[in-house]
Amino acid sequence: MRIIPAIDIIDGKCVRLTKGDYETKKVYNENPLEVAKAFEASGIEYLHLVDLDGAKAQHIVNFKVLEQIASKTSLKIDFGGGLKANEDLYIAFNSGAKQITGGSIAVKNPKIFEGWISKYGAAKIILGADSDQGKVSISGWMEQSKEDLIPFIKDYQKKSIQYVICTDISKDGMLEGPSIELYKNIIAECSNSSNGQSIKLIASGGISSIEELPILKEIGCEGVIIGKAIYENRISLKQLEKFV
């Protein structure tokens, strides 16, 4: 299972929110590159980089931070937040992203999102399926769509999506443990698609201790995104180094 630390960016700084609420912003480091280098030094290979300014502005904003981390570390970065147009994707990949995550766009403009899957290939495009009470949430979690989570994922599975990040919003930033049952359901429901392609589920939200990681691995998660637990020293980089 891949360990994927998260860096969320507002005003070029490394921050965390609780349940996606911008009012709960807490700055952890003024220099995201410093944080990324610490991850890299611990043997971590992957990074989930979120442009929270971009999510609000509906277009890519913090691509310079992406560019800096991509050019000065060897981390494989998946980038999300505000990717709404072909131009945003061009900038993200040009700035060094290895993958991009699309959430709201997959709900609001499926034609564009499907076009990205066709153009760049399913290995480069991650479906962001963030959920609140079984419905897919969009627009930086400020809006709930009418889409039911599992049918939504299955529909994109038919369109050859492989990677899915699922955040249970009620758990995000709460440090109360991840949604094990939700992930079990998704993996069970999406394991036999019509094209025979199982999804690669990346768990996100609520991770609070190192003991939760083997459980997520055991139920079949392909990756896990860890944010606040690292910044609040609930999980040390030393522990992650051993797990990796």
Q: Name the catalytic one among 53, 88, 130, 168.
A: 130
**Annotated catalytic residue, options 8, 51, 78, 172:** 8
Beta bridge partners of 51: 9
Mark whether 172 is an active-site residue. no
Contacts of 211 (CB under 8 A, 6+ apart): none
Whole-number Å distance between alpha carbons of 155 and 206: 26
CA–CA distances in Å: residue 242 to residues 10, 43, 174, 175, 235 = 31, 9, 25, 21, 12
State the angle between helix axes of 86-94 and 63-72 in degrees (0 to 180), rounded to the nearest 10: 30
Active site residue 130: yes
Assess contact for 200 and 160: CB atoms under 8 A: no
CA dist 192 and 9 (Å) reads 36
How far is it, in rounded angstroms, from Cα 163 to Cα 141? 20
In order of 20, 60, 82, 124, 142, the CA distances from 89 in angstroms are 23, 9, 10, 11, 23
d(CA 62, CA 80): 10
Catalytically active residues are: 8, 130
